[in-house]
């Protein structure tokens, strides 16, 4: 018996190109959400959670429209956040990014992700399928946590809008990464959200 966690980044939102942090999905973002819903349609989900931010909530709503048996629930543990600050072993190339992040934001993100991993990365009995619709940094942190990589490694893991990442855990075994940022369901013109130039 296996516990599966399906991690989906929200669809592209209308205000992304204007530098705004949140907003409703763009027409392309809505098409991305429809495509991921079709991709996930065969899976018997036990629970669906999403970030309360508009772009993630709307993605969850569109997924549920195509999969009416799903009842998405908001979770504050899935908010967009910065999980860590600059660590001693992090490459110096990341210093400019953290220059604009306050210590309060880092502390809030660290506490949130501690609670999130305690809530979601816990083996449940039986065959379990859970869907989490959230943000790039949250998915990166879950993957880093599952692989037990150094804390700063979340900065090197990026997900496209409505990309699919899957973690799985069998009884008495560690978490494994089944898929990371799988885009097979998205045609080229719907693939958005990745940085044009890798951070490292």
In a domain, 197, yes or no: no
**Total number of domains constituting the chain:** 1
For residues 51-75, give the mean pLDDT: 95
Q: What is the pLDDT of residues 177-192, one digit of tens each?
A: 999 999 999 999 999 9
CATH number, domain with residue 161: 3.40.50.1240
Q: How many CB atoms lie within 10 A of CB 119?
A: 12
In a domain, 33, yes or no: yes
In a domain, 200, yes or no: no
Give the range of the structural domain holding residue 141, as residue numbers without chain letter.
2-190
The two tokens of residue 65 are: 């429209």
In a domain, 140, yes or no: yes
| pTM score of the predicted model | 0.93
In a domain, 165, yes or no: yes
Q: Residue 19's pLDDT band (boundaries 50, 70, 90)?
A: low
For residues 87-110, give the mean pLDDT: 91
């Amino acid at each position: 018996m296996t516990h599966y966690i399906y991690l989906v980044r929200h669809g592209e939102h209308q205000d992304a190109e204007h530098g705004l942090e949140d907003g409703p999905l763009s027409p392309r973002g809505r098409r991305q959400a429809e495509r991921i819903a079709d991709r996930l349609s065969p899976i018997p989900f036990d629970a669906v959670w999403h970030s309360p931010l508009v772009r993630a909530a709307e993605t969850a709503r569109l997924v549920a429209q195509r999969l009416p048996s799903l009842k998405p629930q908001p979770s504050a543990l899935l908010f967009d956040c910065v999980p860590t600050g600059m660590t001693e072993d992090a490459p110096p190339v990341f210093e400019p990014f953290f220059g604009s992040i306050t210590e309060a934001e880092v502390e809030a993100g660290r506490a949130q992700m501690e609670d999130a991993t305690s809530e979601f990365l816990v083996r449940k009995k039986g065959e379990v399928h859970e869907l989490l619709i959230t943000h790039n940094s949250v998915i990166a942190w879950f993957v880093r946590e599952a692989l037990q990589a150094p804390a700063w490694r979340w900065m090197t893991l990026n997900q496209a809008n409505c990309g699919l990442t899957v973690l799985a855990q069998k009884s008495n075994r560690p978490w494994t990464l089944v898929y990371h940022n799988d885009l097979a369901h998205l045609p080229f013109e719907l693939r958005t959200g990745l940085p044009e130039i890798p951070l490292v």
